Amino acid sequence: MFELIKIKDTVRVPPKRFNEPKEEVVLDILKNSYEGLFDNDLGVILAIIDVEKVEIGKVVMGEAASFHNAVFTALIYKPTLHEITPGEVVEIVDFGAFVRLGAMDGLAHVSQITDDYISHDSKKNALVGKETNRKLREGDRVRARIVSISMSKGERGKIGLTMRQPGLGKLEWIEEEREGKGEQ
């Protein structure tokens, strides 16, 4: 789930930047420090949107810098259990498909793609259903549900996906099922 959050932190401003506008310097330092950072509690910090407040700096003895308490807004992505999310297949492997969910990738294991038996066609780089002959390839747009999240300290984390429920799967498959039910 994408979310805007407010964060409070102390920002170290080096002396070479004292003559620049304080808010611009703090925003630049925050962007360089936070954007792309993964935090187990917050998720992935995608962007620092703006700086709401920058207090007057304090100088600490023995430290050649000023320290400013700041409040700023960040755009984050944190996967939520049971969240239904769109994605794009970015890699096909013999055991499943890696799906880009925006800021992170999740894995849909072959057992979680369809109710059909799935095999890996290495020549066509696709996952193919035995009964339906449906193919899943890199670049396909899908809708999946997050069924497991494993966030380890200091790592990007792992996301498990399923596409075996009604309304989930490759977007073309969902549309085919909708049209098929409308004809009955």
* Residue (of 45, 54, 53) closest to 5 by Cα position: 45
Task: Give the distance between the most distant pair of CA atoms in the chain.
Answer: 79
Q: Quick one: pLDDT at residue 153?
A: 57
Q: Quick one: pLDDT at residue 64?
A: 86
Q: Which two three-digit tokens encode residue 121?
A: 């066609």
Burial class of 139 by CB neighbour count within 10 A (0 to 12, 13 to 18, 19+): exposed
Residues of the chain with CATH 2.40.50.140: 84-183
Q: Quick one: pLDDT at residue 156?
A: 63
Residues of the chain with CATH 3.30.1490.120: 2-77
CATH entry, 84-183, from 3.30.420.40, 3.30.450.20, 4.10.1240.10, 2.40.50.140: 2.40.50.140
Low-confidence spans in the chain with pLDDT less than 50:
184
Distance from C-alpha of 37 to C-alpha of 31, rounded to nearest angstrom: 10
Q: Quick one: pLDDT at residue 181?
A: 67
Per CATH, domain 2-77 is 3.30.1490.120:
yes
| CA angle 42–45–47, rounded 5-degree value | 145
Q: What is the pTM of this model?
A: 0.75
Around Cβ 79, how many Cβ atoms within 10 Å? 23
| 8 Å CB contact between 129 and 121 | no
* Residue (of 46, 163, 157) closest to 105 by Cα position: 157
pLDDT digits (tens, 9 = 90+) for 130-179: 999 999 999 999 999 999 988 765 556 789 999 999 999 999 999 988 88
Q: Quick one: pLDDT at residue 184?
A: 46
Single-letter code of the amino acid located at 168? L
Q: Quick one: pLDDT at residue 155?
A: 59
